[in-house]
């Protein structure tokens, strides 16, 4: 029986963060599940097309990866999503898996980072490993992507767990609530003078380099213009070993449920 794993993420066109945040997880999964053929898929066709035209790097969509495995005679396939929330992108993955469900003896999908309560607690525990030492007047700002999908509520749930842990950290998003402007009054009320900016995304790609830490209209420049002292932690979640552990556990859970 041929067994395979597909590690699927949004993808990135930035080579270094792809190596550190996506390939590192793929390699850990390949080591952990050595009897499985581990493959990659991206959900962003924009990223796939750019990598093909710019770097001659070919990456499959999930549908293409599943089709190839079917043609090659795989019987048992597990898919692990590296998405952060169960939003639209993850919903598309679920639908693709549903379409292929009857084409394999076993086909299962591992949940994204933030799904169950224990996922949030494990994620915050993992974040503690990269947060600076707590200091009065200093806070961490975590930038998530944000979405108009109901899954945007995941960020508020994450903030609640952070608050429960007594951490001086604030979660914001690029594309929905809460934005930086929603966080600023809270920083001033708490008499925060220093801010450490961290991407709460799998990779430190375009959003991290431009919206978080860019030279124009970024969180960094807005905060500095408002008198804050700012540091930037330019590392994606995929570099954090404990976050990697969560994804691997989700894959194990998917296998156990079959």
Based on the fold, state whether residues 167 and 153 are members of the same structural domain.
Answer: yes
- Closest by CA position to 120, among listed 174, 182, 171, 79: 171
Based on the fold, state whether residues 224 and 247 are members of the same structural domain.
Answer: no
- pLDDT tens-digit map of 39-90: 999 999 999 999 999 999 999 999 999 999 999 999 999 999 999 999 999 9
- pLDDT tens-digit map of 133-153: 999 999 999 999 999 999 999
Mean pLDDT of 184-192: 97
- How many CB atoms lie under 10 A from the CB of residue 41? 22
Based on the fold, state whether residues 85 and 49 are members of the same structural domain.
Answer: yes
Based on the fold, state whether residues 17 and 101 are members of the same structural domain.
Answer: yes
Instruction: Flag whether 81 is in a domain.
Output: yes
Check whether 128 has a pLDDT greater than 80: yes
Tell me how many domains the chain contains: 2
- Closest by CA position to 26, among listed 18, 161, 158: 18
Angle between helices 117-128 and 153-164 (to 10 degrees): 60
Residues with a known catalytic role: 145
pTM for this predicted structure = 0.96
Instruction: Flag whether 250 is in a domain.
Output: yes
Instruction: Give the C-alpha distances (Å, rounded to integers) separating 76 from 25, 44, 86, 156, 174.
Output: 21, 25, 24, 37, 38
Based on the fold, state whether residues 156 and 178 are members of the same structural domain.
Answer: yes
Task: Determine the Cα–Cα distance for residues 110 and 169; give it in Å rounded to an integer.
Answer: 28
Based on the fold, state whether residues 60 and 23 are members of the same structural domain.
Answer: yes
Based on the fold, state whether residues 91 and 65 are members of the same structural domain.
Answer: yes
Tokens of 52: 């093909």
Phi, psi of 237 (to 5 degrees): -60, -30
Domain of residue 173, CATH code: 3.40.50.1400
Based on the fold, state whether residues 6 and 103 are members of the same structural domain.
Answer: yes
Based on the fold, state whether residues 8 and 97 are members of the same structural domain.
Answer: yes
Check whether 258 has a pLDDT greater than 90: no
By residue range, what is the domain housing residue 206?
131-234
- Residue 145 annotated as binding? yes
Rg (CA), the chain: 19
């Amino acid at each position: 029986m041929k067994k395979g794993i597909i590690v699927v993420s949004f993808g990135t066109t930035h080579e270094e963060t792809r190596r550190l945040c996506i390939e590192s997880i793929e390699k850990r999964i390949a080591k952990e599940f050595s009897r499985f053929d581990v493959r990659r898929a991206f959900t962003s066709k924009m990223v796939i097309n750019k990598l093909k035209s710019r770097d001659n790097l070919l990456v499959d969509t999930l549908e293409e990866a599943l089709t190839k495995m079917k043609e090659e005679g795989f019987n048992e396939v597990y898919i692990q999503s590296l998405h952060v929330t169960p939003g639209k992108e993850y919903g598309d993955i679920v639908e693709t898996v549903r379409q292929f469900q009857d084409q394999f003896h076993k086909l299962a999908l591992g949940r994204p980072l933030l799904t169950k309560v224990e996922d949030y607690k494990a994620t915050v525990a993992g974040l503690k490993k990269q947060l600076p030492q707590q200091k009065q007047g200093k806070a961490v700002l975590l930038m998530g992507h944000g979405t108009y999908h109901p899954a945007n509520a995941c960020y508020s749930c994450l903030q609640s767990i952070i608050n429960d842990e007594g951490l001086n950290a604030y979660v914001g998003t690029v594309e929905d609530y809460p934005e930086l402007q929603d966080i600023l009054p809270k920083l001033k009320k708490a008499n925060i003078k220093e801010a450490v900016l961290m991407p709460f995304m799998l990779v430190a790609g375009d959003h991290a380099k431009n919206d978080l830490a860019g030279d124009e209209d970024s969180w960094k420049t807005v905060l500095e213009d408002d008198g804050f002292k700012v540091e930037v932690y330019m590392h994606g979640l995929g570099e954090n070993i404990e976050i990697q552990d969560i994804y691997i556990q989700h894959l194990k859970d998917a296998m156990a449920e079959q």
